[in-house]
Chain A
């Protein structure tokens, strides 16, 4: 199980990194999203993996999953939505302004109206 989770984190990171290094905004945004998953799962896994023991206090239960990483990741998920939305908005604005969705400035590209 640990191997599965660790390898999933690794594969998500690798996919995210590869997409982040692409030249157009949309794949970069998807790459950032993949990296977000990877980071969130990585943080979550720092509480170690526990099956069938959610951190809801119950009489008679002695082991619980570590609640702290869960609380941290919960807010991280919501914040990362906000951040994704901002990045998407910026890239959309850049594209609408210049008709060009390259991540980097293009030296030869015809300049748009906003530039």
Chain B
């Protein structure tokens, strides 16, 4: 099966449990199981190639310019991890079906689980480190959802937050490290990076990259000092703990260390950091685990300890260490998942996980007893079980490892950790299963149905088989180890055997087992010592760090970001000014290259009007109607300026937009107060004036500077001028740019415009459905109404003028390609024509004659433009490639047909719909406000029989 399919299956499958939810719990679990099984089988179809030593690859270029490609690769290591993820996943799904209660939303649970599974498979199959990072973050997110699955539990929420914070921070540092690595090698493809060991290790940035990547790995795999999050994540449902926090996700960090082993390991930095962190984690985890009374907490710290063990083995940088690490990953996944599931069974049956309240379960739960004891003995390192084999290899490796120049340090600590490790395994067996049967369990323990005990039983069978006959698994372990080692080292000659002779590792093992038994015998006194020892509580420290970070951020942000828009605007203006000023003072200014053009009296007159209107607005802005008139003058002068400076298209657009904007403002002002009261202090007005003058001077200086200088390079518009007619078939270059050269931008812009109009519509709906509606209905107009709101003269005039305006719009639209005009302007002109009908004949009359809703017009416009663009796909051209031709239909003159005109039609419709929808929404508010509207176009109509109610309202 294609690698893409293996990765994609869980993601697409994640949709199914939610859909199957109404069909029942078994259906949810069933589809999840099927999806996982399909991916599992798909993975197995690749087994022959893996056994032949090949690397299966699949590749799609996604964003080649960024070096981000969707490349997947399956080698021994990836296969091994994918097998663990999907294989244990199958067992967990079966287990979770029986574990979750009726109150839990199983569809939600399995959706999260599949998302997690997909992300995890993605990590181990990625051949691109950027892609790997995306999957990496996805595992953090999906594990957050799974840990916090029981949303009603505060521990669950806190644990989920803590896990996300720690692994998320680690992920960020990992991003940085990977980017550095990619920069060093010049490629983000893992297969390329893995070939460049010498290049990477010789680079000056090797150490920073190493530190950052290790930080991410350690955070993910709960290595010291990030070990504290994993026990808190145990608030998750037990299937999650068994899956994520023992078998798979916490091994992602380990996986990455193994993946990067060929290029990053072997240096003193790697050796010291990784070995030390692993060693400390191993010992610390084992010691804490012994004194935990919660069964899951004990297992959580033992997981931390075992992850430390694997990390230490990878840290040694030897081929034998790598092989031991690979083997222990497998063994740990089998026995620890089985133990977690057993803990879940006990919790389920006895309603408690507190070891102090348990004991004597051997007789009550014989099946669980066998499963848990075998798994625990394997964890303790008892011969004939798989844990013994890899632990033996670990001890052998530690015997040969010299850290800080002290040959005894590593073996001593490893043995010390193993003593505690054996002790907590024995405690688990002894204090939970042996001892007297009690009569005060919260619930009577009993063996569960096979659905719960079969999955761990299958794992325990593996534990025993590997433990008894290690030669079965040896070729596979060596295969995986080969792909871990890459070119950096050769596979060790050593065999995995139960009996190695009287080697130091054996003595260390014996010390560990007997030491563990002695620890258990003296457990009560050891516990007393432990409880008296003061020790830092990780959660308290974590909460303190978070708390102080939040305080610091608040201290920095709140003064700037206090919710006051005026303050933001002022800070923004000043900041832009300061940055611009800095750029200005540090840059160089060339001499003017353009002569100043002489200004005629017309230009000066226009300028005077514009300046007078602007100053008038500032001084008289308290009178709102007056300032609206003044801004109209400003807009008019700007339009005239555009005409003057050879931009007829702009002038037409500005002019028509000006009309609709003023209408819009008037509609709004109808509701708003007509005066702005004097509120701000003189000081504040001085401050604002200072900011305003500063900003004005800055833009003046900038504009004046560049108006007198030519562009540094030849403007790209040369290209557009040269190709407008040849390539675009139009002589109006501005229009050709809009609908052809930069058609995609225009397409985006009409979509934005449409969204803005829909937003206005939605806001209006919300207002009209809310409490505002009553207020609007009861509102008394604050100004006298006109007695003749729809005068006959105006109605007649607008009716007569309507076809003329439509004709003009049509004409402007058609000639747009070659003369000033086009879809934008035509759309605005036609909307003005329609607005005139609303104004003259009234809302009801016009709406009743409206054939098409404006939403539909916007949609049609966007679709027409979009389909025009897609049309070019049928000719094998990129989106929005235009074409044109000239046709002659007698008796007409030769005329041009261009696909760009079709696109322009889309623009026209979108603009028309957007403008009309906005204005219509506003007037709907207004219509609610006063009396019901007349269905007649004219208040006084001689042709009508009814006598108008002249005393209705008004003056």
* Interface, chain A (partner B; CB < 8 A): 1-30, 33-34, 37-38, 40-42, 44-58, 64-68, 70-71, 73-75, 77-86, 88-93, 95-97, 101, 103-105, 113-114
Contacts and interface: CB of A to CB of B under 8 A. Distances in A.
A94 B645 CA distance: 41
B638 A19 contact: no
- In order of increasing CB-CB distance, the 7 nearest A-B pairs are A14-B696, A10-B700, A82-B756, A6-B704, A18-B692, A65-B646, A57-B731
Interface in B592-638: 594, 596-599, 603-604, 607, 610-611, 614-615, 617-618, 621, 624, 627-628, 631, 634-635, 638
A18 B676 CA distance: 15
B671 A96 contact: yes
A55 B771 contact: no
Given A51-B646, A86-B756, 16 more contacts: A6-B704, A10-B703, A14-B695, A18-B688, A21-B570, A34-B634, A46-B706, A54-B647, A68-B716, A71-B737, A74-B653, A85-B756, A86-B763, A89-B921, A103-B565, A105-B563
Contact of B634 (A3, A12, A75, A91): A12
Contact of A21 (B566, B704, B749, B776): B566
B525 interface: no
Contacts of A79: 749, 752-753, 756
A87 B742 CA distance: 28
Contacts, number: 319
A25 B672 contact: yes
Contacts of A21: 566, 569-570, 688, 691-692
Nearest to A81: B657
A66 B628 CA distance: 32
B738 A75 contact: yes
Given A75-B749, A77-B654, A82 B918 contact: yes
A78 B911 contact: yes
Given A46-B706, A75-B738, A56 B634 contact: no
Given A4-B603, A78-B749, A15 B733 contact: no
B688 A78 contact: no
A56 B564 contact: no
B680 A67 contact: no
Given A4-B607, A47-B717, A83 B646 contact: no
A103 B563 CA distance: 10
A92 B703 contact: no
A20 B657 contact: no
Given A27-B676, A93-B767, A67 B703 contact: no
B385 interface: no
B721 A48 contact: no
The prevalent SS among residues of A at the interface is helix
Interface in B723-740: 724-725, 731-734, 737-738
B437 interface: no
A53 B646 contact: yes
16 contacts: A1-B597, A4-B604, A6-B700, A9-B703, A16-B692, A18-B618, A21-B692, A52-B646, A55-B733, A55-B734, A57-B725, A68-B737, A75-B749, A77-B654, A88-B665, A88-B922
A45 B691 CA distance: 24
Contacts of B911: 78
A43 B700 CA distance: 13
B280 interface: no
A23 B566 contact: yes
B565 A50 contact: no
B738 A71 contact: yes
Nearest to B825: A74
Contact of A96 (B647, B767, B820): B767
Interface in B430-484: none
Contact of A104 (B566, B597, B615, B918): B566
Most buried by A among B611, B615, B820: B611
A2 B617 contact: no
Nearest to B721: A64
A93 B673 CA distance: 14
A85 B647 contact: no
A101 B661 contact: no
Contact of B925 (A38, A44, A92, A97): A92
A55 B700 CA distance: 26
Contact of B599 (A1, A42, A88, A103): A1
Nearest to A105: B563
Given A19-B617, A55-B646, A13 B699 contact: yes
Given A67-B734, A92-B671, A97-B771, A44 B611 contact: no
Contacts of A50: 645-646
